Chains A and B, each alone.
Chain A
């Protein structure tokens, strides 16, 4: 039964045109972004879209996620139903009901149940938003309008089909249990009333559907259209690395205005669902800093839309991207607050890359404006001048082994280059870890050597802080030296060196087998090469902290846990937030070298979480975590808790 195709057909045509125009308006802005190759490895991309968009993998990783998954899958089914509804409305001759009865019946069954599930899920979403919203500020009018529209669509769907069944005009009535249930209630109405119900329901359905469609491009529900392509175009490389920059005269570096972002960055911004998951895991946001990854993404989108006119006319944007915080603008303080921990990216259901955008904006500040917290001047000059963050003379690099017998690395003779790292060579606490690791390697008969004073900084802090120019120089020198020396296998005990050598240097064509000491020790113990003299029990309850650059950024989770279990005879105690949900110590992204000016301290937040597990020892696998926990435990007055690197825990077993 179709109420008047003569009125509806032009209405549908107009609505579709308007929708197409709106999408064009929005997406042509996305196309203003800079180039980015996101087409390589199409198989991997299809897999990503299937897993994360259609499979809702990340959505489902949180308790309430199933609610969204239900709505999403229901939407997929109902897209067919609604397509049929609209076409049939304009061209009465076209209808799914003309299919063979069994096929139409099966479809009707799916539509009927999908509508019920969607209605229930939308209902619980409304309740959740009122009772316990996902984040403060999630109770927006927009959210309720959208939920209300979806609920209304489902209600009139049942009204329409219930009345048709009651009237006896629905051929698939036997396949529509929910609608039939309603039909029983409607059976008291006269045929004329039922007809009216159908017509009214039909028109409400039609108008709400067209309105919903046209509202999408202007709301956070744009993600209904962009989330699937966004997952397809995801970054398939390790997500902690940032793209290289080409240092060519006349170019601008970093991102200082919205059109300097790549089109994918802009697609990210219009794909944000405002779910707030990123902000509920962000260490900066959780400790009262102005940084909130959801807001950063939102501000990029707002900036893009507000500058639409200028961008279309090929003029520079008016609303600044970085500056005094206003909607559409991120403040410098916000950008400097990021620890590049990657928790936001791990949490994001639509695979938005928040952190690299922050680093790109830092690049603009450092490279184009030379505007950054004053503490960083010394850091930059120390690394550029003396290749270490403290500016200590390179000749001191091998002081840690002045009383040991350590061989220099020699290609062909030495298997592993032990890349000691700046902290391992200069930081007095971390030097003890270096010595412990050296003892372990010798005990296991590993062939290893060092570069001594020729070792340079890997440049991690430079890169994360946005000083890509200095990083680029350092990386080229390092890559050249490592190639010249014939290094193929590198061992590190710093996850930052580990990740930089392994992932970032890959962009410079250096393919190395980089291994973190947690992995090597585990392997040596499994192979029976490293035998302990005793079980280490005096460290009590050993709580393991996942470093962001080892865990989230490089997926090393099990090796350290297996080592601790073997050495202590007990599985490691766990933080509430562990594995890929681990909470940063506060030192990544160059924050190690910056004062924490606002909010509470990230390391103390993490230390308090640790103390909740009542550990005797906190076991770390990163020099920064070591420093941060050491400081935080002092501040918390809990100096009875020891902080030890995993190498030190293992070395105890050699005594």
Chain B
């Protein structure tokens, strides 16, 4: 049985700046990382592999350099990795992204039955949290978002039981397999790759599928298949901060000033 983990390579956003003139992301020299939530998705699939012997596949749609993210996934222990890369996929919004990913997942399910698709809760660049659900809907998978614990997994009865982490409460949900889950950071502590695995991953080839392989209607992918587009990106204006007293020489006085200010703005109740 196959478990497919969708990962996206994103710019390391603490280092991303927005160009004040063009209002676009400055991507020059910014390192790329695996979307942090997706690292937890990888870890969860590896744990399922350790427990149930499932076959784990990492799947990503992105430019050729997204290979680095997939190599990392291999180094961590994923069995294989597929990169969906084609100029025609570029400029995709969440609708066409999930379209391409769902098609690839369907293709992957032909030789090995699909048990589970694991996605991150959301990305740190697009932040929509729509791709996972988009895949689930297209493939008719049970949709379990915000999972912070897989309670049980029963392949004989075809059932999965998870805990969802919602605001201020938890929800235990049971569903039939195959399912798509999106995971939050609390679900696990990701592992670190061993050196032999890293070296092996560096050498392993990555399967690349373009649209000739997926054969999707070009009107449903890439820019053409994306009904939403970004018209402007900008950093919100922020008021300049203010130094309250001299915290080094008079920490008590500064703290008092701060308290007064917070009380005055009704941000603190006495």
Contact = CB atoms under 8 A, between A and B. Distances in A.
Interface of A: 247, 249, 253, 366-370, 372, 374, 377, 380-381, 385-386, 391-395, 469
Interface string B178-201: 000000000001111111101110
A377 B194 contact: no
A385 B12 contact: yes
Contacts of B196: 253, 368
A393 B15 contact: yes
Given A385-B33, A393-B15, A394-B15, A249 B193 contact: no
Contact of B194 (A367, A385, A394): A367
A361 to B, nearest CB: 15
Contacts of A372: 192
A370 B191 CA distance: 8
Given A249-B199, A385-B12, A368 B194 contact: yes
A377 B199 contact: no
Contacts of B192: 366, 370, 372, 377, 380-381
Contacts of A366: 192
Contacts of B205: none
B140 interface: no
Interface in B10-33: 12, 14-15, 17, 31, 33
Contacts of A386: 12, 15, 31
B17 to A, nearest CB: 8
Contacts of A370: 191-194
Nearest to B76: A370
B195 A253 contact: yes
A372 B194 CA distance: 11
Given A385-B31, A393-B15, A394-B15, A377 B190 contact: yes
Given A253-B195, A369-B194, A393 B189 contact: no
A386 B11 CA distance: 12
B15 A469 contact: no
Given A368-B194, A377-B189, A385-B33, A395 B199 contact: no
Interface residues of B, number: 18
A486 B189 CA distance: 42
Given A385-B12, A393-B15, A469 B189 contact: no
A477 to B, nearest CB: 13
Contacts of B191: 370
Main secondary structure of the interface of B (DSSP, over half): mixed
Given A380-B192, A385-B33, A393-B14, 12 more contacts: A247-B195, A366-B192, A367-B194, A367-B195, A368-B195, A369-B194, A372-B192, A374-B189, A385-B31, A386-B12, A393-B15, A395-B15
Contacts of A367: 194-195
A377 B190 CA distance: 8
Contacts of A374: 189
A374 B190 CA distance: 10
A392 B12 CA distance: 11
A380 B17 CA distance: 25
A639 to B, nearest CB: 11
A142 B248 CA distance: 61
Contact of A247 (B31, B193, B199, B203): B199
16 contacts: A249-B199, A249-B200, A249-B203, A253-B196, A366-B192, A370-B191, A370-B193, A370-B194, A372-B192, A374-B189, A385-B12, A386-B12, A386-B15, A393-B15, A394-B15, A469-B198
Nearest to A369: B194
The 9 closest A-B pairs by CB, nearest first: A367-B195, A393-B15, A370-B192, A469-B195, A370-B194, A393-B14, A253-B195, A377-B192, A249-B199
Interface string B129-147: 0000000000000000000
Contacts of B33: 385
Contacts of A394: 15
A253 B33 CA distance: 26
Interface in B29-79: 31, 33
A177 B137 CA distance: 105
B28 to A, nearest CB: 12
Contacts of A395: 15, 17
Nearest to B190: A377
A31 B200 CA distance: 31
A245 to B, nearest CB: 9
A359 to B, nearest CB: 15
A385 B34 CA distance: 11
B33 to A, nearest CB: 6
A207 B260 CA distance: 90
Nearest to B192: A370
Nearest to A472: B195
A394 B29 CA distance: 11
Contacts of A391: 14
Nearest to A432: B248
Nearest to A252: B196
A469 B196 CA distance: 10
Contacts of A380: 192
A391 B33 CA distance: 13
B204 to A, nearest CB: 12
B203 to A, nearest CB: 8
A374 B31 CA distance: 24
A80 B94 CA distance: 89
A540 B31 CA distance: 49
Nearest to A391: B14
A385 to B, nearest CB: 6
B60 to A, nearest CB: 18
B99 to A, nearest CB: 31
A377 B203 CA distance: 24
Nearest to A363: B195
Nearest to B198: A469
B228 to A, nearest CB: 29
A369 B191 CA distance: 10
A581 B14 CA distance: 44
Contacts of B14: 391-393
A385 B30 CA distance: 11
Contacts of A249: 199-200, 203
Contacts of A392: 14
Nearest to A395: B15
Q: Which of B14, B195, B198, B200 has the most CB of A within 10 A?
A: B195
Nearest to B194: A370
A377 B33 CA distance: 15
